[in-house]
Amino acid sequence: MKKETLGTILALLAACISGFAIIANKIFIVDMEPTVFTAVRALIIGIVFFLIISYQGKGMIKAKVSWKYLLTIGVIGGAFAFLLFFSGLKLTTGGNAAFLHKTMPLYIAVLAFVFLKEKITRKQSSALFLMFFGTIAIYSATISPAELWVNPSLGNLMVIGAAFLWAVESIIAKKAMIKGESNFIVSFARMFIGAIVLFAFLAVFGTFESLFSLTTQQIINVCISTVILFAYVFCWYYSIKLINVSKASTLLLLAPVISIILGIMVLGEPIAALQLVGAALILIGAYLAVKIRSEFTTGV
């Protein structure tokens, strides 16, 4: 299978997993401390990627790039972005969080153009504009606070902040891969270093004991969420190794359409006409993005 085709399929799989994951995590996070939830998942996945790397290399991890890249990826993408996102997800609806999270391609496209010299074609620009207006349409829909979304405005703001941090992390990750780093090592750094930062956060702010008060159901929920996250991280980092990060991130905008449908069906979340219009624009934009071939100017 050609790199372009495989990379596109993996990005689409990542989008589907992400769309499902946001609603599942919305259910899981309601009665849990977001930092504990995020830290445990990150640690487990970091260990899994460590085992994969050890098996492949038959020894210790040997990074091909400076560890400053990997440390930055872990701190920004594996710790602070996750903490912001799940804190925001607890306060807003799953549908809103999904669409605002997927503003990430807009930030990535600009950052990739500036720092990675990736070309953005007219067709890709059209796809991004359609998706941007689709996101604006959904964000403009008014949502009244309720039991499962107690402060949508604050939650929305935190999710947008997380999306921007993940965009920065994606650019750094792509840069590391351009320099020859393995996507598995990048994935390990993101999750394991992020877990260390999050556990340190728990210790500093005196909430570490909440880790030992998890119920059986909460532990099961964390395990399910961990499996979902592992599948997403695997598909996402593999995809951006094969195709332009700006194209891969554009395809991720399929995820909120899935999330909003599941949010309505499973959680009874509100739906407005503007949200339906936005979802349609995003689907059209994603279809255009699938047709775009990656043009590398950075030696990949």
What pLDDT digit, counting tens, does each position of 96-150 carry? 888 788 778 778 888 888 888 887 778 878 888 887 888 788 777 777 778 788 8
Strand positions, DSSP E, the chain: none
Q: What single letter denotes the amino acid at residue 282?
A: I
- CB count within 10 Å of CB 79 equals 26
| CA distance linking residue 148 with residue 140, whole number of Å | 20
What is the band of 193 on the pLDDT scale with cuts at 50, 70, 90? Answer: very high
Residue with token string 């400076």: 66
**For 6-10, 85-89, 289-293, which range has the lowest pLDDT when averaged over its residues?**
289-293
Q: What single letter denotes the amino acid at residue 276?
A: L
- CB count within 10 Å of CB 208 equals 16
Instruction: State the average pLDDT for the chain.
Output: 85
Cβ-contact 152, 89 below 8 angstroms: no
**For 115-124, 164-173, 217-226, 234-243, which range has the lowest pLDDT when averaged over its residues?**
115-124
- Specify the pTM: 0.81
Residue 300, pLDDT > 50, answer no
Give the 3-state secondary structure of residue 17.
helix
Q: What phi, psi does 243 have (nearest 5°)?
A: -130, 170
